[in-house]
Amino acid sequence: MEMSSKIRVFGSDDCKRCKVYLPALEEANIEFVFIDADADEHEELCDEHEIDELPVTQVVVDGEVVGELIGPLQPDFLIKWQKELTCDKK
C-alpha cells in the first residue's frame, strides 16, 4: 500500500544549483513545495531544519520527514526515491 507524500525543496533565488534544479522538476511535472531558505533572510528556518547547503530535498509523509538528500537530483531518481520511501513494506 502506497502512502501519500509530498516533496519539499529548500532553496534560494541566489543558489546556482537551485536555478537549474527547480525548472527541471517543473519540466518533469513533479509536484513540490518550495521553501525559501536564503540563510541571510531566513537564518532561524535554516537552523531549525539544519540547512547548511542548498538545495535540500525532503520527502514528507504525514508531516514527518522520511528522507532527505542534499544537492540537485535527477527527476527520474526523485520519483523512484519518493515511491520507495512511501511504499508501505509489510
Alpha carbon dihedral 59, 81, 17, 51, in 10-degree steps, equals: 40
State the pairing for strand pair 64-70/33-36. unpaired
What 3-state class would DSSP assign to 40? coil
CB atoms within 10 A of CB 82: 20
CB atoms within 10 A of CB 59: 21
pLDDT tier for residue 88 given thresholds of 50, 70 and 90: low
Q: Which residue's C-alpha cell is 541566489?
A: 14
All structural domains of the chain: 6-75 (3.40.30.10)
**This prediction's pTM:** 0.89
pLDDT at 3: 67
Contacts of 33 (CB under 8 A, 6+ apart): 6, 7, 8, 9
Least confident residue range of 20-29, 40-49, 80-89: 80-89
pLDDT tens-place string over residues 18-36: 999 999 999 999 999 999 9
